[in-house]
């Protein structure tokens, strides 16, 4: 039994011990997976609501554990962040995704998630430059998705890094908008190119009045700032109709397409042939 604050007692029970052990084991296995190139990158399209044209593809990491099977990024990304492993894992994902994006129509952008921990690396800007150079992908085709936490605490440098990335010609998206503590503050702190409305607000459209109000406010901000707004996690035609009516510009979600392995994602472009460009 461990004593916690306020005289409360917390049981350090078998369940917690098991969770801790799983974390330790997964951390070791992540190192292994990195060495053996055991990660995969899937791609989920982001489409314009009006035309249904794919404007970007978001790269999403996948990990199939040798004995435990598929492990959700929601579980392994936090472990990778806490251990610093997200830096090499993130670099690997970025460079692989840049190479893959060269197989898509030239107007399609690649969107890559950056974790706050990657901003602690001295070499973030350098590794972005390297990934672009190695693949030949123009900087203007790369979008980096960050969450509000990147601009939180001890982050004076992070703002400078964002400006350096922007100076390369890379676009910066504000991910999971609305889930942090002071989202509006961050919109003032940096001129984002895109705002992604978190799935939690989209899910309950159009019945939940709070969600309706928040989505209306965010798309309004987007229109005012002339910044694209993307609704995450769109699953139903009803949600899509509501978002269109509110003037949201882009959608991402199972309704349009799930994240797909590289080969399957390429097929979404249908008639487009890379040979035509080559």
Residue pair 231/40 in contact by the 8 Å Cβ criterion:
no
259 contact, one of ligand C2E, Ca ion, none, CB 5-8 Å limit per kind:
ligand C2E
The C-alpha atoms of residue 62 and residue 50 are separated, in whole angstroms, by 30
| 29 or 145: CB nearest Ca ion | 145
Under the criterion CB under 5 A, does residue 176 sit at the interface with Ca ion?
yes
Residue with tokens 């404007």: 55
Q: Using the 8-state DSSP alphabet, how is residue 198 labeled?
A: P
Which parts of this chain interact with ligand C2E (CB under 6 A)? Answer: 44, 59-61, 72-74, 77, 86, 90, 93, 113-115, 175-176, 232-235, 252-254, 259
Structure tokens of 107? 């107007």
**Which phi and psi angles does 33 have, rounded to 5°?**
-60, -35
Listed in order, strand segments (DSSP E) in the chain are 2-3, 9-10, 39-48, 54-65, 69-71, 109-113, 142-146, 171-177, 194-197, 228-231, 250-251, 260-261
Q: Between residue 134 and residue 153, which ones bind Ca ion under the rule CB under 5 A? A: 145
| 222 or 259: CB nearest ligand C2E | 259
Under the criterion CB under 5 A, does residue 81 sit at the interface with Ca ion?
no
The C-alpha atoms of residue 207 and residue 259 are separated, in whole angstroms, by 27
Q: How far is the CB of 96 from Ca ion (least distance, A)?
A: 17
| 135 or 173: CB nearest Ca ion | 173
Stretch that binds Ca ion, among 86-94, 109-117, 204-212, 245-253 (CB under 5 A): 109-117
| 59 or 211: CB nearest ligand C2E | 59
Positions in the binding site for Ca ion (CB under 5 A): 113, 145, 175-176, 232
């Amino acid at each position: 039994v461990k004593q916690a604050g306020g005289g409360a007692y917390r049981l350090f029970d078998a369940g917690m011990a098991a969770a801790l052990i799983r974390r330790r084991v997964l951390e070791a296995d992540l190192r292994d997976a990195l060495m053996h190139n055991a990660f995969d990158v899937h791609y989920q399209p982001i489409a314009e609501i009006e035309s249904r044209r794919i404007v970007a593809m978001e790269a999403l990491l996948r990990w199939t554990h040798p004995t435990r099977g598929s492990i959700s990024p929601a579980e392994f990304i936090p472990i990778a962040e806490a251990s610093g492993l997200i830096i090499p894992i993130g670099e690997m994902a970025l460079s692989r995704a840049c190479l893959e994006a060269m197989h898509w129509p030239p107007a399609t952008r690649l969107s890559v998630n950056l974790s706050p921990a990657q901003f602690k690396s001295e070499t973030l800007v350098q590794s972005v430059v390297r990934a672009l150079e190695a693949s030949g992908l123009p900087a203007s085709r790369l979008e980096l998705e960050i969450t509000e936490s990147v601009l939180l605490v001890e982050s004076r440098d992070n703002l400078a890094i964002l400006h350096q990335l922007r100076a390369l010609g890379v676009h910066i998206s504000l991910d999971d908008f609305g889930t942090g503590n002071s989202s509006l503050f961050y919109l003032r702190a940096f001129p984002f190119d895109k705002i992604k409305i978190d799935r939690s607000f989209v899910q309950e459209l159009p019945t939940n009045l709070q969600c309706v109000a928040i989505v209306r406010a965010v798309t309004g901000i987007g229109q005012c700032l002339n910044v694209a707004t993307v609704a995450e996690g769109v699953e139903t035609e009803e949600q899509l109709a509501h978002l269109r009516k509110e003037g949201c510009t882009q959608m991402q979600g199972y309704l349009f397409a799930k994240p797909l392995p590289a080969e399957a994602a390429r097929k979404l472009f249908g008639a487009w042939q890379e040979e035509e460009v080559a």
